Amino acid sequence: MTSDVSSFRAHHPSRVRRSVLTVPAINDRALEKLISLDCDAVIFDLEDSVAENRKGDARTNLLNFLRDRDLGHRERIIRINAADTPFYREDMELVIEAAPDAVLIPKVEEPVAVQNVADMLGESDATEGLRIWAMIETPRGVLNAAAIASSGRTSDSRLDAFVVGLNDLRKATGIPAAPGRTYLVPYLMQVVLAARAYGLDVIDSVSNDFRDMDAFSEECAQGRAMGFDGKMLIHPAQVEPANHHFGPSEAAITEARLVAAAFADPAHAGFNVINIDGRMIERLHAEEAARLLDKVATIAARKDKP
């Protein structure tokens, strides 16, 4: 029997989201540099990185950029301002006009925030297929992560990813920005668990010191071990290590090919559990292997493309 989460994933195909670079929509130089970067996704920010008196300029700048530039494989996400700001409606009008791949809602604390955006997108035929990402970056957001994620199960939902924002969460909780993120790990794992329970991708928070690449690599390794799909980035130098840490390892690829081949063997037809070199492997592992090999194929297909 197919699970609800499997059905959701079939409706929302998995994507490669190892490196998710955020760029201020007002910064022309940063926008132009995107063409040369091997990031999987780009968040065009209209929120925190844009001063209030430049919001209109940022929207115009971003619309012109998206009209004039082909970003190839890079997934395009626009981060809007929150619903309780005077910029929200104009930001949403831009999203509908620009029709990116997804819209990122900041500081999501209740399912209604997702539903309101979904309703606005549903008013235009131009936004068919446009997805919703939700930033979980407040104590209420973490506490309600499961309820927010469950809204992705409705037939009209476009939700397919969480992004963790630790800067606001640290500020709200008083937890310092210490190496290892020790006291933040329980919150991070709670968001990962909620995302996984409802078939969503989940992206780890930014690392603010882009000069300390050793610390960044350690944080990437930690995020990968916790189950994150990728990491939100603030600097081009972070792209390559994020791709490395969140990409499939050679050992994982070899294992996935072995499992896929074993379950494809006609001798194992109808078996849900088989023996591979003394290990009992279930069919669910074959499904995981297939998803990993799909991502490997996607990454490989990009090598000859911009």
In which element (H, E) is residue 136 found?
strand 131-136
Among 116, 83, 78, 73, residue whose Cα is nearest residue 97: 78
Tokens read off for 143? 């506490």
Contact criterion met (CB below 8 Å) for 291 and 251: no
User: Measured between alpha carbons, how far is residue 137 from residues 45, 170, 172, 202, 287 in Å?
Assistant: 16, 9, 9, 13, 32
Please tell me the distance from the alpha carbon of residue 225 to that of residue 2, in angstroms, as a whole number: 27
97 is in an annotated binding site: no
R_g (Cα) of the chain, nearest Å: 20
Give the burial class of 72: count Cβ atoms within 10 A of its Cβ; 0-12 exposed, 13-18 middle, 19 or more buried: exposed
Cα dihedral 137→110→87→131 (10° resolution): 90
212 is in an annotated binding site: no
79 is in an annotated binding site: yes
Find tokens 């493309």 and name the residue.
Answer: 305
- The rounded Cα 70 to chain-centroid distance in angstroms is 21
Please tell me the distance from the alpha carbon of residue 49 to that of residue 24, in angstroms, as a whole number: 6
DSSP per position, 141-195: HHHTHHHHHHGGGSTT--EEEEEE-HHHHHHHHT----GGGGGGHHHHHHHHHHH
- Residues annotated as binding site for Mg(2+)? 137, 168
- Residues annotated as binding site? 79, 137, 168
- Residues annotated as binding site for substrate? 79, 137
